[in-house]
Structure 1
Amino acid sequence: MDNFKSFLKELSPISTESWNRFSRLFSPKILKKGDYYIKEGQIANEIGFLQTGVLRVFYRNNEGVEYNKHFFLPYCFIGGYASLISKKSSLINQQALTDCNLFVANFKDIQDLYHTFPDIERMASVVAEQLFIQKEKREIELVLLDAEKRYHIFQKDFPLLEQQIPQYHIASYLGVSPTQLSRIRRKILSK
């Protein structure tokens, strides 16, 4: 829980009393490689904090083709945020690419603390703001940058991830085929 507490304090100041109430809502959860944290069609009701491991966030089209949207690495919050807020079915999947250790809590229980503990509400607001900024940055990259530039950003944003996950997941994240990713990597190596 120490990493969790440090992560929260970096987001926004939180009192000891708030931390004690907030942290009691969370319990440990283990995901094995291949397990889903949430699947499309489910209504999310919990939020998690990733302690160890790697998860991918992806969409699947009607033909079964998967498109990786994001990777979660320690330490961060995970969950079907749009589903949590809207109380509608999730459109995304979150799947463990490695074994993962999490702390999870019921999202409504966290929201119930907002009126009594405004520092917890402020922290939640900061998390939402960061997610928005991250989403906008990713959308701009996909529209305005070529695949090689997106690959360089991937390497910067996710150092060492290439050694942990299959290349086809990276290609999907970049919006290219595995063959195109191989060409990009060869081109970079030849420079």
Structure 2
Amino acid sequence: MDTFIDYILQFGNLNQQQIDLITSKATEIELCKDDYYWEAGKAVKQIGFLTDGVLRVYYYNNKGEEITRYFIDNKHLILSGNNVDELYTPSEYLQAITDCKMVVFKKQDWKEISETIIGWETIIQKIIARHHTEKLKRRSDLVSQDATERYLDFIEKFPTLANRIPLSYIASYLGMTASSLSRIRKNIR
């Protein structure tokens, strides 16, 4: 819980009473490797914050192939939908690829926090803006690079992931086959 509170405090100030409210509404959970935080076609009923571990967002293309869109690592807020009142049914899967620890909030509790704490929405918007900027930077670099550059860039941006997750997920994220990635890894050693 401290990890979540410390993260939130980077984006705005909260007093002890507000921190106590947030803490009282939160639940800490663990996901085992391969568990799903959410699945395509199933309504999402909570807001989450990843305190430890790695998740991946993926979907199936029209050929039935798994395509990894991106990875989510420590200290990342996972919202569901554009606003807390709407029912969000994702078209993608969000799966733990390592054992994960999360802080989660029921949507109703999140809404109560938002209605009670003045400035909460501003804090959340700042977090969303940071995540969005990071995601765009990661994806835009992938478009302009060749395969080797994409892998080297991946290692630089996600230094702890390369040896923690299956190569097939990395290859899918980088837009190449697992055998191509194996060749690239062999050539740069």
Same fold (TM over 0.5): yes
Match of 2:18 in 1: 18
Instruction: Count residues in correspondence.
Output: 189
TM-aligned CA deviation for residue 155 of structure 1: 0.9
- What is residue 140 of structure 1 aligned with on the other side? 140
Instruction: Name which of structure 1's ranges 160-169 and 138-147 shifts more when overlaid on structure 2.
Output: 138-147
In structure 1, the gaps of 5 or more residues are none
Provide the C-alpha distance between the structure 1 equivalents of 2:85 and 2:130, rounded to a whole number of angstroms.
16
Cα drift, residue 22 of structure 1: 1.5
SS at match of 1:102: strand
Match of 1:116 in 2: 116
- In structure 2, stretches of 5+ residues that fail to align are none
Partner of 2:75: 75
Identity %: 32
- Report the counterpart of residue 41 of structure 2 in structure 1: 41
Q: 1:24 to 1:90 in 2, by over 3 A?
A: same
Give the TM-score, by structure 1 length: 0.87
- Give 2:4's aligned residue: 4
Q: 1:12 to 1:152 in 2, by over 3 A?
A: farther
The CA distance in 1 between the partners of 2:186 and 2:82, in whole Å, is: 38
Using the alignment, how far apart are the partners of 1:8 and 1:22 within structure 2?
11
Assess if the C-alpha contact under 8 Å between 1:47 and 1:78 holds in 2. Answer: yes
Instruction: Give the superposition deviation at 1:79.
Output: 4.6
| 8 Å contact from structure 2 (residues 36, 95) kept in 1 | yes
State how 1:145-164 maps to structure 2 within 5 Å.
145-164=145-164
Q: Secondary structure at the match of 2:113?
A: coil
Q: Distance in 2 between matches of 1:3 and 1:45?
A: 22
Partners in 2 of 1:135 and 1:51 — Cα distance? 18
- The code of the aligned residue for 2:18 comes to S
Q: What residue in structure 1 maps to residue 183 of structure 2?
A: 183
Q: 1:153 to 1:80 in 2, by over 3 A?
A: farther
More deviation, 51-60/72-81: 72-81
CA distance in 2, matches of 1:79, 1:33: 21
Q: CA deviation at 1:82?
A: 5.3
Cα gap change, 1:117 to 1:82, in 2 (>3 Å)? closer
Alpha-carbon shift at residue 119 of structure 1 (Å)? 2.8
Which letter maps to 1:118? Answer: I
Do 1:38 and 1:80's aligned partners in 2 also have CA atoms closer than 8 Å? no
Runs of 4+ residues deviating >3 angstroms: 79-86
Q: Which moved more, 1:88-97 or 1:145-154?
A: 145-154
